[in-house]
Amino acid sequence: MFRSRSWFGGGWGRPKNPHSLERLKYLHNILCKNTTVSENNRGILVESLRCIAEILIWGDQNDSSVFDFFLEKNMLSYFLKIMRQKCGGSSYVCVQLLQTLNILFENIRNETSLYYLLSNNHVNSIIVHKFDISDEEVMAYYISFLKTLSLKLNNHTIHFFYNEHTKDFPLYTEAIKFFNHPESMVRIAVRTLTLNVYRVQDASMLRFIRDRTAAPYFSNLVWFIGKHILELDACVRNDADHQSQQKLADLVAEHLDHLHYINDILCLNIPDLNDVLTEHLLHKLLIPLYIYSLTSESTKRPVTSSPYNRDHLQSIEVITRNLEAILTGKSSDTPPRLNYPMQRHESEEETKPSVSSVVALFLLSQVFLIITHGPIVHALAWIILQSNLSVFEEGATKILDVYVSHAKSSVKLEFSKPQLSLEKALENTSCSERDYTTPEFAGAKSFGYDTDHSSCDLDPELVSNSLPSTSHISETSSIAHDSTEDLVTQIQTVKSGSSVTLVKENMPDSPLPDSGIESTSSKAVSDFNNITDEEKQKLLGVKTTSATERVTTVENVLEREAKNIDKRPFLKTILDSLDCSENDYKALFALCLLYALINNKGVNPELLDTLLYPDIHDVSKSNVPTNSNTKQESTSSDNPEECNQSEQRMIDSFNALFISKLMVIANLSCKPASKVRLVTCELTVRLLRTAMQGSTGVASSRHISTADNLRGRAAALARNFYKCDDIFLDMFEDEYCEMSKRPLNVEWLCMDAAILLPPTRTPMSGIAFEKRLPSGEMERARRAIRTFFLIRDLYLKLTGKTETQLPLANPAPFVPVGDTLDLNDSDLISCDITQKDGTWHHRFLAVDNIQVILVEPDKQRLGWGVAKLVGSLQDLEIQGDKEDPRCLHLTIHKPRIGAHGALPRTVLLRAKFKFDDHIRSMAAKQRLTKGRTKSRQKKMQQIGRLLEVSGVSAPAPAPRHRPLFARPALAARRHSGLDGDDTERRLRRPSGHVLKDGIVVYRERTTSRESSVSRTSSTHASREGSPRARSEEIPLEDIRKSSGLAAAIPSTSSQQSTPSTSQHPKLTSTSSEETSFISSEPRFKRKGIVETI
C-alpha cells in the first residue's frame, strides 16, 4: 500500500500521472543518475524498471510518443549496463529487469514497436548475458524471458534473432543448453522454445539449426533419454514389491514426455531436421538400446548361432567397437572415422547399456503408440519383423533409404554419451573462424561427439581433408579388433548366401561398399561362419520340404514357422515373451508392442504381412511356381525393396505361429487358476481378431471354429460361478457395464507405470482390477465373467454377427416418467413417502413385471395416473421398519435402459414408505420382493442361455431347460386349460433338482407356491383381467391372497377404480413404445423366439 501512496504522494517532483511521457522521462532521469547499482539505489531502480514496463505498455496501447522516447534514449542499453554489474543483491535487479522485459514482449501489440525493440541487438546481448543461473529465481525468469521471445517469432522477427551472416542464433543456442536442466519447468520451456523456433520454417535458419546444432542437440537429447531409461530399468529391477511406484510413474511419464516432444518435432515436417533426428534416434537409442535389449538374453543362449557368443565378444563394449569399425567401413560417403582405440575404459557407463527385455518391450510399445513418423517406425518395425542381428552391424541405413534419398550412416550405431557436452559443442559451432560451408551436416556432427578428450578420437585432419575412404577403411579394419574382420566377413557371406537362396537377404541391396571391405573379406571368405551356414541349410531345408510336401497342414506350417523364427531374433524374442505359463508379466508388453506396431499408421502395411498374412493357403499356392503372386506384388510396388520383401513373405509369414501363441494365452485365461490378467486377455483377444482376419479382413472357417471352441471354454469357466445369489446377476451386469464403458485403451495402458512391476494380486496395491490378478472368489467370478464377454465378442466379431443378447435385455420397456397410465382395475397401494431431507409425497405404488412405478392420480381422468417415478424392480432394495410395521424403507434404482444398457446403477429414491396399515405394508413388501425375484430370475435365465448352463451341468438338457424358460406356457394357459398347464408345470418341476445352482432350488420353491395357488387364482376371473394377472404376476398376487391379504387389496384398488370396461389398460402416451401394460403378448412371443435359439 505504501508504495502506491508513494506514487502520488511522494515528493521529488515526479509527474502525477503514472502513465505519461513525462513520467518516462523522469524515470529515464533516474536511470541516468543511477548507473551503478548499489545497496542504496537498487530499490529505486527496481521500481523504476517496473514502472517503465507499465508506461511502455500503456504507451503501446495509447501514446506512440512514449515508445519513441524509449528508443531514442536507447533505454535498453541501460538495462544491459545494470545487468552486467555484479553487486550484492543483483539478482533482485536482474529479476525485475527480466520481468520488465517479459512484460514488454508479452504485451506489445504494435508490430513496429516490437521491431524497434529488437532492432538494435540489445536483446541478443541480454540473451547471451551470463546470468547467475544458480539462483532458482533468476533461472526461472530468464528461461521465461527466452520462451516469451520465442512466442514472438515469425518470418519477420526471426531475423532479429538469427543472424544469417555471422551464423549466430543465441536465442536458440542459449536455450538448448538447458535441455536437461534439473528443473522440469525449465526443460519444458526449452522444449517449447525449440518447437517455436522450428515452426517458423525459415529456410536459412533451419539450415543453420541442422548444420550447426541438430547433431549435438539431438545426440545429447537422445543420450539424456537413454539415461532416463537406464534409470527406469534400474527402478524396475530393484522394485519387486511395488515400493517406488511413484518414482517409476514419474520416469515413465518422463519417457512419454520425451517421445511426445520428439513426435511434436517430427510432426512439424521439416525434412532436414527429421532426417537428423531420425538417424540419431534410431542409431543412438532405439537400435542400440531398445532393440539390443530384446536380444541380450537370447544371444547368449543359442551358442551355435550367434556371433556374439564367443568369450571375447561377450561384452557389449567390444561389440560396439566392432560395430563402429563396420560402420566406418561401410559408409564411403561420410568422413571416415577412426574406430575406437583400445584404450577405452571398461568402466565406462556404456559397458552395460541394455535394459531388461520387459522394459524394452514396454518402451518400444510407447514408441509405436506415439511416434508415427514413417522412417522411424517403419525402420523399427522392419528391424523387429524382418531383420536379424546384423542390424547391429549395419544399422537401419538401408531401410531409411526408402524415405531419405541421402540417408547417411554418419551416426554411429551405439548408445553412448556424446563426446562433447552440448554446451561445448555449441561453443564450437559458434567459432566463426571455422569453415562450415560444407552442405553436409556431417562436418558439424563431428563436433557433436567425435572430438575432444574421450575415447572416440577423431583425427581433425581426416575431417577437414575428407579423405576418400577406401584406403582408410582397410587400414582401420585391420587395426580393429580381429573379430571385426569376422563380422565383416559374416556380412559378406550372408550377402552372398542370400543372393543364392533369395531368402536370407534381410538388408536388400547390402549397403556394404565393395572397395574397402572387399580387401578384408577376401582373405576371410573361406572362414565360413556358423550362423550363415546353418541358416543357409535351414533355409534350403525349408525350401525343399515345402517343395516336396504338397500337403500343408497347420502343424507343418507351424513347424516351419517355428524353424524360421530363429532367423528373426527380435520377433522370436517377442513371440517367445508371449509365454504365460508362469505369469503374463512379459507377455503383456509383448502384446502391447505387437498391437502398437500393427496399428501404427507409419508402418508400411506390407511389412505387417509378416504377422498377418494367412500363410496356410498361401503356402500351398506358393509351392507351385511363385511367379504369379510375386509378379502382382512387384508391379504394385515400384520399390525394389518392397518387392523383395513381398517375395520373402510367402515363406516368412509367421501368422500361424502368431495365432497359435495367442491361442495359448486365450486358452490359459479360460482356466480357473489362470495367471493371465484381464488386460492381457483383452489385448490377446484383440490381436487374435486382427491376426485371424489377417490382411484379407476375413477370418477363415478354421479360425472361426477355433474361436467358437474358445467361447465354449470361456462359458464353462463363467458357468462355475453361475449361481442364484443376488450377487451373480449384479456382477454380471456390472462387469458388462464396466467393460463397455471402458474398453481397453492401449495408449493409456502403456502410460501406466504400475504394469511394469510384476503382476500382483492384492487390491491394496492400488492397481486396477484389470491389471492385476483376481483376489478372492468374488474377483475370480468377475474375471471369469469378463473373460467370457471378451471371448464371446471375439467370436461374434469374427463371424460378423452382431451382439443381440448383451446387455441383458429387459423383457419389456419401462414406462417413461410423466406418462399417463390407465390404472383402472390395477392394484395400487397408497403410501406416504418421506425422504431423508424431510420432503414428503403421497403416491400410489404400482408393481409391474420389471418395474416399480410411483403414480400420482391424474386430475383430468379418474382412474388414470401419472408416473412420477419409475425404477427397476430388479435392483430394488427393501427393508422393513423395526419400529413401525406400516413402514418400509425402499431404495429405488434407475432402470438400466438405453442403447448400451450399461450404465451403472444410480439411486433414484431412497425413502421411507408409510402405508395405511401393516397389512398393506406387508402386501407391498411381498409384492415387491416377489417382483424383484422374478425379474431377476428372468435375467438369470438369459445368462443361463448365454453360458449354456444346460449343456454342461446335466446330461439331459431338455427337461431341465424348460422350467426355466418355458414361459409361453403361461401365456398359453389363458387360452388352454389351466389345469393342464399346472400339471405340465408340476411335471417339470422336479427336474430343477438336477441343477445344483441356487437359482433352480429357489425357483423350485417359487414354482411350487405358484402352482399351489394358481388353482385358486383361476377362479378369480376379475383378477385375470388385470394386467399383472395376464402377465406373470399371477403367482405373486396369489401369494398375497394366500397369505390372507386378499381382502385388503381390492379395497385399495377400488379406491381408484372406476367402472371401466376396458379389459386392456391403455397407455396414453403418444409414443408408440409399448409399455409393460400392453406388451404381454409380444413379450411372450419374444421369449419364444429366444428359446428356440
Partner 1 sequence: MAYAYLFKYIIIGDTGVGKSCLLLQFTDKRFQPVHDLTIGVEFGARMITIDGKQIKLQIWDTAGQEAFRSITRSYYRGAAGALLVYDITRRDTFNHLTTWLEDARQHSNSNMVIMLIGNKSDLESRREVKKEEGEAFAREHGLVFMETSAKTAANVEEAFINTAKEIYEKIQEGVFDINNEANGIKIGPQHSNAGAGGAGGAGAGGAPPGGCC
The residues of the shown chain that bind partner 1, judged by CB under 8 A, are 2-4, 6, 10, 18-19, 42-44, 46-47, 50, 54, 57-58, 61-62, 89, 92-93, 95-96, 99, 102-103, 106-107, 137, 140-141, 144, 147-148, 151, 184-185, 187-188, 191-192, 195, 199, 246-247, 250, 253-254, 256-257, 260-261, 263-264
Residue (40 or 405) nearer to partner 1, CB? 40
- Would you say 10 or 460 has its CB closer to partner 1? 10
Nearer to partner 1, 62 or 204 (CB): 62
Question: What residue type is 269 in one-letter code?
Answer: N
* Residue in the block written with cell 552391424: 393
Q: Which is nearer to partner 1, 211 or 254 (CB)?
A: 254
Q: How far is CA 948 from CA 114, 714, 953, 956, 961, in A?
A: 76, 11, 9, 13, 10
φ, ψ (nearest 5 deg) of residue 258: -60, -45
| Residue 583 Ramachandran class (φ > 0 left, ψ -120 to 50 alpha, else beta) | beta
Q: How far is the CB of 261 from partner 1 (least distance, A)?
A: 4
Cβ at position 430, least distance to partner 1 in Å: 27
Supply the minimum distance, in Å, between the C-beta of residue 1043 and partner 1.
46
Nearer to partner 1 (CB atom), residue 61 or residue 805: 61
Minimum Å distance from CB 449 to partner 1? Answer: 25
Looking at the Cβ atoms of 93 and 867, the one nearer to partner 1 is: 93
Smallest separation, CB 758 to partner 1 (Å): 22
Least separation in angstroms between CB 250 and partner 1: 4
Q: How far apart are CA 323 and CA 484, in angstroms?
A: 8
Name the CA dihedral angle for 1048, 1052, 1058, 1059, rounded to a multiple of 10 degrees. Answer: -10
Q: How far is the CB of 586 from partner 1 (least distance, A)?
A: 27
Nearer to partner 1, 191 or 797 (CB): 191
Cell triple for residue 1036?
405373486
Q: What are phi and psi of 164, to 5 degrees?
A: -65, -35
Our CB check for partner 1 shows the closer of 185 and 727 to be 185
In which element (H, E) is residue 570 found? helix 569-577
Rounded distance, CA 791 to CA 686, Å? 9
CA 704 vs. chain centroid, Å, equals: 28
**Residues ≥6 apart with Cβ < 8 Å to 527:** 486, 489
CA angle 532, 533, 536 (to 5 degrees): 80
Distance CA 353, CA 259 (A): 19
- C-beta separation of 122 from 80 below 8 A: yes
- Report helix, strand or coil for 163: strand
Q: Is 465 exposed, middle or buried (0-12, 13-18, 19+ CB in 10 A)?
A: exposed
Residue 54 is placed in which grid cell? Answer: 507499465
Q: Is 725 helix (H, G, I), strand (E, B) or coil?
A: coil
Q: Please report how close the Cβ of residue 246 comes to partner 1 at its closest, in angstroms.
A: 6
- CA–CA separation, 282 and 396 (whole Å): 7
Smallest gap from residue 236 Cβ to partner 1 (A): 17
d(C-alpha 682, C-alpha 923), whole Å: 47
Residue 956 contacts residue 972 (beta carbons within 8 Å): no
- Tell me the three cell numbers of residue 254: 518422463
Task: Choose between 187 and 538: whose C-beta lies nearer to partner 1.
Answer: 187
Rounded to the nearest 5°, which phi and psi values hold at 755? Answer: -75, -10
CB of 242 to partner 1, least distance (A): 15
Choose between 367 and 847: whose C-beta lies nearer to partner 1.
Answer: 367
Q: At its nearest, how many Å lie between partner 1 and the CB of residue 553?
A: 49
Q: Provide, rounded to whole angstroms, the least separation between the CB of residue 30 and partner 1.
A: 12
Report helix angle 422-429 to 215-237, nearest 10. Answer: 180
Other Cβ atoms less than 10 A from the Cβ of 288: the count is 27
Task: Pick between residue 95 and residue 578 the one whose CB is nearest to partner 1.
Answer: 95
Least distance from partner 1 to the Cβ atom of residue 188, Å = 5
**Minimum distance between the CB of residue 253 and partner 1, rounded to whole angstroms?**
6
Task: Tell me how far, at minimum, the Cβ of 19 lies from partner 1, in Å.
Answer: 7
Q: Which of 258, 253, 247 is nearest to 190 (CA)?
A: 258
Closest-CA residue to 21 (of 55, 48, 44): 55
Nearer to partner 1 by Cβ, of 46 and 867: the residue is: 46
Q: How far is CA 598 from CA 422, 577, 617, 695, 1086, in A?
A: 36, 17, 22, 11, 42
Closer of 664 and 751 to partner 1 (Cβ): 751
Contact 440, 314 (CB under 8 A): no
6 or 544: CB nearest partner 1: 6
Peptide bond into 807 cis (omega under 30): yes
Q: If we measure between CA atoms, which residue out of 125, 143, 154 comes closest to residue 179? A: 143
Closest CA to 1028 of 768, 851, 813, 818: 851
> Of the two residues 765 and 805, which places its CB atom closer to partner 1 in the complex?
765
Q: Residues near 40 by Cβ (< 8 Å), separated by ≥ 6?
A: none
Helix or strand (DSSP H, E) at 131: none
Of 61 and 501, the one with the shorter C-beta distance to partner 1 is: 61
Comparing CA positions, the residue from 287, 276, 397, 383 lying closest to residue 333 is 397
Closer CB to partner 1, 26 or 92, in the complex: 92
Provide, rounded to whole angstroms, the least separation between the CB of residue 766 and partner 1. Answer: 11
**Nine cell digits for residue 1008:** 411350487
CA distance 74 to 161: 19
Find out whether the peptide bond into 605 is cis, omega within 30 degrees of 0: no
Q: 890 and 928 in contact (C-beta within 8 Å)? A: yes
The nearest distance, CB 926 to partner 1, in angstroms, is: 40
What Rg value do the Cα atoms of the chain yield, rounded? 39
Shortest distance (Å) from residue 180 CB to partner 1 = 14
- Considering the complex, state which of residue 182 and residue 800 has its C-beta at the smaller distance from partner 1: 182
